[in-house]
Chains A and B, each alone.
Chain A
Amino acid sequence: MPAAEPVFRREFPVKGGDFAKAGAAACEIKELLKDLGLDAATVRRAAIVAYEAEMNVIMYAWKARMDLAVSPDEVRLTVDDSGPGIADIELAMTEGYSTATAEMRELGFGAGMGLPNIKRNADVFAIDSEVGRGTRLDITIRTNGHHP
């Protein structure tokens, strides 16, 4: 993003295991994007991405910071967690693959659609993970560009 471009930023701390607040950050992000006047389709994609990313942290990581940066052209979300990390990213990106426990599935999560779903709704998607330290997601959704 060029420095001169106006950017709205906000950070959202997310705590691992905090199911009581599940979806709170994603909802706030969604409301913000509506207030910023983004089109409905972009808001929907961003809401899905934010929801999945937030749930991943709540289910698997210890804590994370979600950073939102919105410019007129794009929504950028980075999620930087301290957590167990992902040993085999390629496997984790496979639809249907999940390490979710029975309890998580009981709650309707852990269908193994999280990361692939994020990627599907993003225009740019990068993932970086280190076992024992954490995972970082870098997601961009273009507001004017076409979704691939």
Chain B
Amino acid sequence: MSTPDRNYHAIHITKDKCIGCVHCMSACPTRAIRVADGRARIIDQLCIDCAECLRVCPHEAVHSHTTSFASLEAFEYKVAIPSTVIYGQFGSSVVPNEILSALRRVGFDEVYDLSSICELNCAATEEYLNEHPRPRPYITATCPVVVRIIQRRYPTLCAQILPIEPPREIAAKILRTILPKALGIAAEKIGIIHITPCPAKMVSINSPATLSKSYLDGAISIRDIFPQILKALRKSEEDAMMRHLFPETLFSGIGMGWSLSGGEIRGLKRHRAVAVSGIQDTMRVLDQVEGGLLQDIDLLECTVCPDGCVGGPLGVENRFLAKSRILELVGAAGEHAVVDQKDVSRLYHKNFLSFDHPVAPAESRPLDHDPVKAIDKAKLRDKLAAELPLKDCGVCGAPDCRTLADDIARGYARLEDCPFIKTAAKEKR
């Protein structure tokens, strides 16, 4: 496990591949990208690792730091806990047990399904909501980008993040507690790896917002490990038949759909919950919550990828097919609980499922830390915005004219960076 790093980011721009076009800059929801000297640059403080830039880059210049399978050699015992998104990646003839088995043949010593832990999380969430009638709404903490965006843009909502760890961390914590004793292997020699369509999981692992240390050792992207799984699946027809006829894992129908928008709240029995997906809609709704709305809702599930984690940028199958396959599996698994409510209660009341510490707001980024100077700069910014053409062409290297005005007021850019202003000045001369 690595030590937490406050400035860790999973999203990076490869300088050699970037041609300085403006696709990523326009797509960035927090206006964290600038283009200067023909290259895009990410402003660390503003980036929330949502990967919108990675989705739109036509030159594959935006990449995400995920764990490589080769780097796991350091561990004596390798455990995989794949996101349930993986079950939607291989078409309808491949059953989840086959996928888990294929992962073992890829080289993991053990592979655990997360659907039952998702169900456990849902039951714990229900208990938490029962015991805490206020504030409303609580916001789920599963999506690491949502946590980051709240820390940066909606700091007053930090206290409304429901303080139950997401399934991937709960699963890793349980395994990390039990496996060293069960296997007789030192804890640090056991590698627990998440497999995910999401680059931001690397952020919650390397720079956790609610834990002093993540229980996971890394995250492999589905995209990276997909070819190996496919090869392992193709190689052994006997194994496939075994898994079909002698299924060894019991999947939770309540947890299986966790990766689809609405999946986290589907199992709630007594509370009014709403699911939002997509970065723009998530921000719109969080704006409303910060404005005091939605107080009649108990729980707000926000995931920044479209349709939920199934729409993560590092998946392989298109999200519509993946979603359809997962819904099939949800139906097949049925509605009955596979997790014992007594286990949930015990872990919940031992605070085994809770955050180590609440989410803290990120350092704010006012125009100036001196309030009088900040007012002056805000006035200057308005004056500059009035001079700019408001065409938002991006040629200056900022995503829009208002952001250029903001950059100038902060001392990071000049009015002459605007091509319209520059041309007008030339003509005048």
| Cβ proximity bits B320-359 to A, threshold 8 Å, 1 near / 0 not | 0000000000000000000000000000000000000000
Within 8 A of B (CB), among A50-99: 50-52, 70-72
Interface presence of A136 (CB below 8 A)? no
Query: Please, how many angstroms separate the alpha-carbon atoms of A27 and B293 in the complex?
Result: 13
Query: Please, how many angstroms separate the alpha-carbon atoms of A44 and B374 in the complex?
Result: 19
Interface presence of B375 (CB below 8 A)? yes
Query: Please, how many angstroms separate the alpha-carbon atoms of A86 and B311 in the complex?
Result: 49
What is the chain A residue whose CB lies nearest that of B406? A35
Query: Please, how many angstroms separate the alpha-carbon atoms of A52 and B155 in the complex?
Result: 20
Taking beta carbons and an 8 Å cutoff, which residues of B are in contact with A? 155-156, 287-288, 290-294, 296, 361, 364, 366-372, 374-376, 378-379, 382, 406
Query: Please, how many angstroms separate the alpha-carbon atoms of A26 and B290 in the complex?
Result: 10
Query: Please, how many angstroms separate the alpha-carbon atoms of A104 and B40 in the complex?
Result: 45
Query: Please, how many angstroms separate the alpha-carbon atoms of A35 and B370 in the complex?
Result: 11
Name 24 A/B residue pairs within 8 A (Cβ), A-sorted.
A6-B376, A7-B375, A8-B375, A23-B287, A26-B291, A30-B291, A32-B378, A35-B366, A35-B374, A35-B378, A36-B366, A36-B371, A37-B369, A37-B370, A40-B364, A44-B156, A47-B292, A50-B291, A51-B288, A52-B292, A71-B375, A72-B372, A108-B294, A117-B292
Within 8 A of B (CB), among A1-55: 6-8, 10, 23, 26-27, 30, 32, 34-38, 40-41, 43-44, 47-48, 50-52
A51, B292: Cβ atoms closer than 8 Å: yes
Across the A-B interface, give the 5 residue pairs with the lowest CB-CB distance, nearest first. Answer: A37-B366, A51-B291, A72-B371, A48-B292, A44-B156
> Contacts of A30 on B, CB cut-off 8 Å?
287, 290-291
User: What is the distance, in angstroms, from A117's C-beta to the closest C-beta of chain B?
Assistant: 7
Query: Please, how many angstroms separate the alpha-carbon atoms of A51 and B370 in the complex?
Result: 27
> Contacts of B288 on A, CB cut-off 8 Å?
23, 51
Query: Please, how many angstroms separate the alpha-carbon atoms of A50 and B366 in the complex?
Result: 20
